[in-house]
Amino acid sequence: MKKVNPQFFILLQLPLDYLAVVLAGVSAYLLRISPWIAQWRPVLFQMDLPFLSFLKLDLLVSSLWIIFFALAGLYRSRRRNYYFEESFQIAAASSLGFLSIVIYIFIQQQWFNSRFILLVGWFLSIIFVWLERVIFRWIRIILARRFGIGKQNIIVIDNSDSKSQKFLSELGRDPFYRSSSIKIITEADLDRVRNIIQKDGIDSVILSNPNIPRENFLGLINLCEDEKIDFKFVPNFFQTLTSNTDFAFVGPFPLVELRQTALNEWGRVVKRIIDLLGSFLGLIFVSPIFILIGILIKFDSPGPILVKLKRISQDKPFFIYKFRSMIENAEEYKKYLLPFNERKDSPFFKMKNDPRVTRIGRFLRRTRFDELPQLINVFRGEMSLIGPRPHQPDEIDHYRRKHRKVLNIKPGMTGLAQISGSSDLPFEEEIKLDTYYMENWSLWLDFKILIKTFLIVFKDKSAC
Longest Cα–Cα distance of the chain, Å, equals 80
Mean pLDDT of the chain: 79
Above 60 in pLDDT, residue 179? Answer: yes
Segment 84-95, tens digit of pLDDT: 678 888 988 898
pLDDT reported for residue 384: 93
pLDDT reported for residue 80: 46
Mean pLDDT on 174-190: 76
pLDDT reported for residue 77: 62
pLDDT reported for residue 84: 67
Is-contact 150 143, C-beta < 8 A?
yes
How far apart CA 68 and CA 89 sit, in angstroms, is 10
How far apart CA 378 and CA 375 sit, in angstroms, is 5
Query: What kind and span of H or E run contains 115?
Result: helix 115-142
The larger pLDDT score, comparing residue 152 to residue 83, is at 152
How far apart CA 208 and CA 162 sit, in angstroms, is 11
Q: How confident is the model at residue 9 (pLDDT cuts 50, 70, 90)?
A: confident
CA dist list (Å): 281 to 274, 376, 393, 414: 11, 11, 31, 17
* Verdict on whether the full-model pTM lies above 0.85: no
Query: What kind and span of H or E run contains 233?
Result: strand 230-233
Segment 331-384, tens digit of pLDDT: 776 766 776 666 665 556 666 777 888 889 888 888 888 899 999 999 999 999
Segment 276-329, tens digit of pLDDT: 999 999 999 889 999 999 999 988 888 889 989 888 887 788 999 999 988 887
pLDDT reported for residue 142: 85
The larger pLDDT score, comparing residue 404 to residue 290, is at 290
**Which three-class secondary structure state does DSSP give residue 183?**
strand
Is-contact 205 230, C-beta < 8 A?
yes
Segment 28-61, tens digit of pLDDT: 988 888 777 666 666 665 556 778 888 888 899 9
The larger pLDDT score, comparing residue 299 to residue 179, is at 299
Mean pLDDT on 245-250: 53
pLDDT reported for residue 82: 57
How many angstroms from the chain centroid is the CA of residue 325? Answer: 30
